[in-house]
Structure 1
Amino acid sequence: MRILVLGGTRFLGHTVAAEAVRRGHEVVCAARGTAGEVPAGARLVKVDRDREDGLAALAGERFDAVVDVATISYEWVRRALDAFGDQVGHWTFVSSISAYANPGLPSTGVGDPLLPPKAVHGTREAMREDPDLYGSVKVASEHAVTAAVGAKALIVRAGLITGPGDEFDRFGYWPQRLVRGGRVLIPDVDHEIQYIDVRDLAAWVVDAAEQGTTGIFDGIGPATPLPALLTAIADTLGANVEFVRVGEEELLERGIAPWAGPRSLPLWLPESHKYMGARDAGPALAAGLTPRSLADAIAGALDHERNLGIDRERKAGLTLEDEAEVVAALRA
Structure 2
Amino acid sequence: MTCLARGTRPAPDGTELIAADRSEPGAYDDVVGRDWDEVIEISSNTDHVAAALAALAPQARHWTYVSSVSAYAGNDEIGADEGAPLSEPAAPGTPDDEYDYSRAKAAAEASVRSDIGDRAAIVRPGLIVGPGDPTDRFGYWVGRFALACGDPVLAPPLESARAQVIDVDDLASFIVERGADGWHGTANAVGDSMPLGEMLALAREVAGHSGPLVEAGHEWLTEHDVAPWMGPRSLPLWLPPGMPGFMTRSNVVYRAAGGQLRDIRTTLERTLADERARGLDRERKAGLSRPDELELLAALPR
Structure-to-structure mapping, 1:265-304, within 5 angstroms: 265-304=235-274
Cα pair 1:73 1:120 within 8 Å, conserved: no
Shift of 1:103: 1.4
State the shift of 1:249 in Å: 1.5
Q: Is 1:175 aligned with 2:175? A: no
Aligned AA for 2:12? P
**1:95 is matched with which residue?**
67
Residues 174-223 of structure 1, C-alpha deviations (whole Å, 9 max, x = no match): 01001222211111131211111111100111110111221111111110
- Structure 1 residue corresponding to 2:223, chosen from 250, 253, 260: 253
Residue ranges of structure 1 left out of the alignment (5+ in a row): 1-26
Percent identical across equivalent pairs? 39
Q: Is the 8 A contact 1:187 1:247 kept in 2?
A: yes
Task: Please name the residue that 2:57 is paired with.
Answer: 85
Judged with a 3 Å threshold, the aligned counterparts in structure 2 of structure 1 residues 238 and 312 are, in CA distance, closer, same or farther, namely: closer
| 1:64 pairs with one of 37, 61, 64 | 37
CA RMSD of aligned residues (A): 1.8
Distance 1:121 1:203 in 2: 34
**Counterpart contact for 1:99–1:136, Cα < 8 Å:** yes
Q: Contact 1:47–1:57 (CA<8 Å) still a contact in 2?
A: no
CA distance, structure 1, for counterparts of residue 120 and residue 45 of structure 2: 18
> Which is further off, 180-189 or 214-223?
180-189
In the alignment, is residue 40 of structure 1 matched against residue 13 of structure 2? Answer: yes
Task: Give CA-to-partner distance per residue, 1:122-180, whole Å, 9 cap, x none.
Answer: 79x847xx6xx001000000000000111111101111001122110000100100122
SS at match of 1:315: coil
Q: How many residues align?
A: 299
Q: 1:310 to 1:238 in 2, by over 3 A?
A: closer
| C-alpha spacing 1:87/1:41, structure 2 compared with 1 (3 Å) | same
**CA-CA distance at 1:329 after TM superposition:** 1.0
CA distance in 2, matches of 1:303, 1:78: 39
Asked whether the 8 Å contact 1:52–1:79 carries over to 2, the reply is no
The gaps in structure 2 that reach 5 residues or longer are: none
Shift of 1:243: 0.7
Displacement of 1:48: 1.5
Identify which range, 107-116 or 143-152, moves more after superposition.
Answer: 107-116
Higher relative contact order (CA 8 A, sep 6+): 2
Higher fraction of strand: 1
Normalised by the length of structure 2, the TM-score is 0.93
Compute the displacement of 1:51 (Å): 2.0
In the alignment, the residues of structure 1 paired with residue 57 and residue 256 of structure 2 have an alpha-carbon distance, to the nearest angstrom, of 27
CA displacement, residues 70-104 of structure 1 (integer Å, 9 cap, x when unaligned): 1x300111111111112222110000111111113
Instruction: Confirm or deny: 8 A CA contact 2:33 2:59 kept in the other structure.
Output: no
